[in-house]
Structure 1
Amino acid sequence: MTTQALLWAAAGTGFTFAMTTLGAAMVFFFRGEPNERLQRVLLGFAAGVMTAASVWSLLLPAIEQAAQTRLPGWLPAACGMLMGVVFLAALDALLPRLRRKRADGDWKQTTLLVTAITLHNVPEGMAVGLAFALAAQGEGLAGAAALAMGIGIQNFPEGAAISLPLRQQGWTRLRAFAGGTLSGAVEPVFGILVVLAAAGVHPLMPWLLSFAAGAMLYVVVEELVPQAHSRAGTCGFVIGFLIMMVLDVALG
């Protein structure tokens, strides 16, 4: 790939990263500690965002990309998702051993949440990077721009889905903002790396997409839904799911 392709990939993934940062900045608009009902709404919102993103941003694109190969479309999606679940389950089991205070559930939930959304951002960054690298060679600039715009808008609620729960757990606004921002920093990093190794990585994209989906779904079921379980949490879940679904479908 040429230097121009790398620069275009950096610009496209830089935009999506900036949108994650804007979403994380929502933490500065909340004063004081949210009450219990609002906490459940926010946890439900994060769960809804992650569930919809797992389906429309990850699993369905994985199936579509796999269908272009000799493999059945469902195979990489199913196997990759199971690998993502197993990976997060192993991490979940390991965390108490890495932390002396086994009862510190907030620390474990925070680590799982940040890990899952960060993993989700890896294949998105790779997809945007590849799209802009091809656009730099005269192939599909409009499509690359639409992809970056769609993922960038989706990243806004995802940044908030990390920073707001971190704030609820007692983090300062600045630390919560940094946590949300860093979850999106992997997009430009992997967007550039995939351009450098485009030929070898592209066949793995269905597996990477579904792996991230499995990781996110594990966190939703294991950590977020149980703590958000209430009428307020259900409303938050539905709102988050609808927002992410509409963004994914409307923006392609």
Structure 2
Amino acid sequence: MTEKVLMGLLLPFIGTGLGAACVFFMKGQMSDKIQKALAGFASGVMVAASIWSLIIPAMEQSGKMGKLSFVPAVVGFWIGIAFLLLLDTVIPHLHLNAEKAEGPRSKLKRSTMMVLAVTLHNIPEGMAVGVVYAGLIAKNASISTGAALALAIGIAIQNFPEGAIISMPLCAEGKSKKGAFFDGVMSGAVEPIGALLTIFAAGLIVPAMPYLLSFAAGAMMYVVVEELIPEMSSGEHSNIGVVMFAVGFTLMMALDVALG
């Protein structure tokens, strides 16, 4: 595996770690406005990445199917939705600002379930980066080095606020800064692991690449609609979330086109 691929897989994890480190420099609890802004920004990046970096390349790779070139993208997308729905059902987790945990009943600590919630939606991000780099390794014509790097950078940028979103509330609830930082970093550890597993899987089933690309897109869209959009739009100041959604969307779109 080349150094470029390795760096691409680690970039999102580094973004999470840097965001989690905010707990050492910021005092008090993160304001509601900032939380909505960060959730909106992350949503915009993930939606744009799903479209430009995953779904469009998936359909391009199925071009030989003519008018049915959308089929692999649709099938893969729905499998991704179903996969995250399954994880959402079987893993106990607690979303930010929520009082009631989701998934099966558990005796896990509130802080542990908050970390699991972030870890849950980091899984599709890691898979997205992994499948794009798998295509690059397989010398897939529709995936360039620039496009793969753009996705890794985009995910890393949106992981920065995610790292802060998990570490700072944990610290505000009484956890030590070092402990909150560690939990924030560990919530992102699943991304390079998921990316590596996806690369190995894609190497075994290269013809399934369009399905894998759209699978990652469906998984990310599930996270956006089920978690991030409700966070950015509930209560007051929802306009901040919408504006930051647009910022994240256009930034990711620009990165993909400029580097791709």
Q: Normalising by the residue count of structure 1, what TM-score does the alignment of the two structures yield?
A: 0.78
Deviation beyond 6 Å, 4+ runs, structure 1: none
Alignment of 1:170 onto 2:170: yes
Q: CA deviation at 1:204?
A: 0.8
Q: Name 1:118's counterpart in structure 2.
A: 123
Which residue does the alignment assign to 2:84?
88
Of 254, 257, 260, the residue aligned with 1:249 is 257
In structure 2, C-alpha distance between the alignment counterparts of 1:148 and 1:214, rounded to whole Å: 18
User: Tell me, which stretches of 5 or more residues in structure 2 are unaligned?
Assistant: 92-101, 172-179
| Aligned position for 2:62 | 66
User: Across the two proteins, how many residue pairs are aligned to each other?
Assistant: 233
> Separation in 2 of the partners of 1:84 and 1:18?
23
Amino acid at match of 1:37: K
Root-mean-square deviation over aligned CA pairs: 3.1
Instruction: State the AA in 2 paired with 1:46.
Output: A
Please give the alpha-carbon distance, in whole angstroms, between the structure 2 residues aligned to 1:106 and 1:228.
Answer: 23
Q: Is the 8 A contact 1:123 1:205 kept in 2?
A: no
**Residues 199-235 of structure 1 deviation map (CA, whole Å, 9 limit, x = unaligned):** xx11111111111111111121121111211012112
Contact 1:122 1:187 in 2 (8 A): yes
Contact kept in structure 2, 1:66 and 1:206, CA below 8 Å: yes
1:127 to 132, 143, 153: 132
After the TM superposition, which residues 192-231 of structure 1 pair with which residues of structure 2 at under 5 Å, given as runs? 192=200, 194-195=202-203, 197=204, 201-229=205-233, 230-231=238-239
Deviation at 1:188, TM superposition (A): 3.6
Looking at structure 2, the residues matched to 148 and 215 of structure 1 have their Cα atoms a distance apart, in angstroms, of: 18
Report how far residue 185 of structure 1 moved: 3.3
> In 2 relative to 1, CA 39–127 (structure 1 residues): closer, same or farther, beyond 3 Å?
closer
Map residues 147-186 of structure 1 onto 2, 5 A cutoff.
147-170=147-170, 172-186=180-194
The DSSP-based 3-state class of the residue aligned with 1:99 is coil
Structure-1 separation of matches of 2:83 and 2:6: 28
| The 10-residue stretch of structure 1 (74-83 or 119-128) with the greater mean CA deviation from structure 2 | 119-128
Secondary structure at 1:170's aligned position in 2? helix
1:28 is matched with: 21
1:39 paired residue among 28, 35, 38? 35
What amino acid is aligned across from residue 34 of structure 1 in structure 2? M
- The answer to whether residue 92 in structure 2 is matched with residue 100 in structure 1 is no
Per-residue deviation, residues 111-130 of structure 1 (Å, max 9, x unmatched): 45533442243253243245
